Structure 1
Amino acid sequence: MSGVALYAQNPWRRTRQLVGDLLVVLWVAAWVRAGLWVHDSVARLAAPGRTLEDAGSSLSDSLGSAGDTVARVPLVGDDARSPFDAAGGAADSIARAGVQVQEGAAQLALLLGILVAAVPVLLVVGAWLR
């Protein structure tokens, strides 16, 4: 019982098949590499989000410490603390916005990276498999 041959017996036809297969493999590798490059490039957009998150967190911590210090002042401590608490809450919002920027950049990087690689690969591989 003989199995199905992957390539033709005719040397010229077999050479054409092998060259075609090699070109498809190179095409796929090139587009996967392009998709990874796009992903990495877009992922760099998260850097300002990290900066924003770090700045917001640092500001919130500093304002919280200042509020704690002011709260120890006799007679006016609690009243003097409330602006620091409010400003600390705003700083926390800045930090959360930084996290959202990072998450958005990561999602966009993944989506664009996959699309850049998948569309040309699927078009060529689909035609190649026919």
Structure 2
Amino acid sequence: MVLEDVWGQFDDDYTRPGAPLFPSERRCADGSSRRVGDDAPRNGLAAAVEAHLPGWAEKLTPHVLRHFCASELYSGGLDLVAIQAVLGHSWIAMAMRYVHVQQTRVEDAWLAGQQRAAKRLEGLMG
């Protein structure tokens, strides 16, 4: 299933400016869909965490998922400028706060840098 398959079920014209990405089942007076309220994703996540990950109750929030997503995108190879755009941040420094780098990635980058330096030195010596 792709997004285009479900768009039409919620709003007559999903291409119109302002059409909700996450539409509510409640309709506006003109028949179009309203946006889901700000509390709906938070409440839905809280209920799912309580049911399936009770040890994470009140710890796993949409904001924590935002940090996790940014970190996963970075570890998957997406550059910081692209992550900044995905998160909607004006400043790259703010996007960098969302990316949590695993220590093994730092160590791997350090070793790769040392190997590159050693190869350059070999070329100078020979």
Q: Which band: TM-score by shorter chain?
A: under 0.3
More helix by share: 1
Structure number with larger C-alpha Rg: 1
Q: Which has the higher strand share?
A: 2
With the length of structure 2 as denominator, give the TM-score of the two structures. 0.26
